[in-house]
Structure 1
Amino acid sequence: MFAGGIAFGAVVVYVLTKKGQGLSLIQNQINEISRTLDMKLGESSKQMHESMQNQYRESKNIIREVTERLTRLDETNKQIVGFADQLQSLQDILQNPKQRGVLGEYYLETVLKNVLPVSAYAMQYKIGKSDDDKDLIVDAAIFVADKIIPVDSKFSLENYNRLAVERSPVERARLEKLFKQDLKNRIDETAKYVRPQDSTMDFALMFIPSEAIYYDLTISQVGAVRVNTADLIQYGLKKRVHIVSPNSFYAFLQTIMQGLRQMQIEQSTKEILKRVQELSRHITVHDQYMSKLGSALGTSVSHYNSAYRELKKVDKDVLKITGSSPDVEPLTLEKPEEV
């Protein structure tokens, strides 16, 4: 019985000992697992932190880029609105005949300023008096020598625009008549500045500040509408009015500029000839003085030689009286040759 108790106790001690060793092993494994988990969690936390920082930076860059693009887009929208306002202002100007006239005059002056010197033209120039005693003031005057070329800016647009979009044949015919009459009226207004009695050329220029209208006049077409404008050109020539556009007017001014340069060269040549003639006169006068001086020198030489000859006679008289002579030899000079 006692021996059995001892054996049982030994078994219990053995089991507990083995169990303690197992618990220690388990505890070690748990600690290892804990360290591994801590390390993995630390690495995961670090990776997540770095990933969040990268995402934050990318999000920040995206937000900044979007903000910049929105800012540029806002500025572009403002520019578009500004352009729209300017176009609306230009449209308002073109719809107002008076303001349209001011725009045409400004365009005319700009072309003149880009080609001619300031002294070769004038804006709002008074030509003279009309038959009803009113001042005739032309938009621009070009000065060529002692003559004036009148230039008037005309801008008939209302009926032109209507004719360009009209589709009804009946209405087109009516608008064509109105358009042609508008241009005839503008030609008549320009023709009144042709006044040779007031030093103008025998022609004037009607400046149309629209290449489109001028081009349509030359090809006899307004938009898609055929218009007989050949008689308008002939009407202008009959009235001694030449119709010009900005481009053709620029070419005309280039020709005027060449003429002005040739006139300046001719004037310079005349001035040179005048100076040469004055120099020739001075040379003639100088020659006369030199001739008089030569004559005076010739007379002086004659007197000099005569005096020496008289001195020789005195020498002979001294020889007769004293038996000796200073032996004076007369020195004679030659007269200057006459040229």
Structure 2
Amino acid sequence: METVLFDIGGTPITVLEALAGGLAIAVLGLIIVLIGQTRAARQREEQAAIDAARNGEMERHMADMMRIQSEMTGRMQTMSEIFGNRTSDLARVLTERIDASSHRVNQSMTETRTKTDETLTKLNERLAVIDRAQTNITQLSGEIVSLQSILSNKQQRGAFGQGRMEAIIADGLAPNSYEFQVTLSNNSRPDALIHMPNDAPSLVIDAKFPLEGWQRITDAETPEAVRAAMTGFRNDCTTHIKAISEKYLIAGETQDTAFMFVPSESIFADLHERFEDVVQKAARARVVIVSPSLLMLSIQVIQALLRDVRMREQAHIIQKEVVALLGDVGRLNDRVNKLQTHFRQANQDIDDILISTGKVTRRGEKIEALEFEDERPSLLE
């Protein structure tokens, strides 16, 4: 019989039951302890996993941060290099532009200096021209004063016209083609006598134009004085034209036309403009009024006529020379033909020599190739 240890609620508890209960409680406690330990281990494992995960995440973040830092460092280095290169390029470009600007400025300054020098040189040349022109004007003023003094004296006016006429004739004709102040058969003395070709009568030129009458027209100050001076000048010209016609137009000795020389182009133009009646009277009297330019043209025509006459006089000599020249050309043609024949024969001889040298060359080639064959000599060898 089992011993009851105590009662619980009227239920007797024996030693065996107490032992079983204690064992159950011990097992239960052990189970609870094991469960607690398992949970603690699980919690520790979970915490370790969480910690590992957190550590891995932190490592990844750290790796990402290191990578980002490395990339940032590389980018910073790249940006630094780019900035350095850009800075160098910018400095180089600025240097080149500054050099180009300096070159352009120097070139512009050089060109400006050159143009300035040229302008100053041209200015100096123009100033020199102006100085020469001023000197010429001063000389011309003196000559005008001298001309006025000449025109104020009748004898000097005559010498002035005579001098201009003689200079024009002497410049255009040979010395044996004219004479000055020669006496004609009626004892008159024209200022110039031009000898015409083919024994034709000579041409008379008069240089005693009434310049004093024209000077009075120039000096007149009132219309009445001008009209009076023009009337006097017209009468002087008419009288002079009549004297030329009567004294210098000698049949068989002089031409039927004489020249009246006017020593000024302006007077000549004024005469034709305001004194047409005087020009017509001169034409009717067979007196031609000529200015320096017209006299020069007439002298050139006479010079051409004299040259043509001399050419005709020498025509037989020229013809003889041409015949002799034709003979020389014929002989030259014969000699050229003979020379051509010699050249043709020389060409033939050269062709024969080339044929012989060709044969010698071919025989030498055969000898070099040891081709010894009996050949009958040809007729051309």
TM-score (norm 1): 0.50
Q: Tell me which structure has the larger Cα radius of gyration.
A: 2
Flag the structure with more relative contact order, 1 or 2, with Cα contacts below 8 A and sequence separation at least 6.
Answer: 1
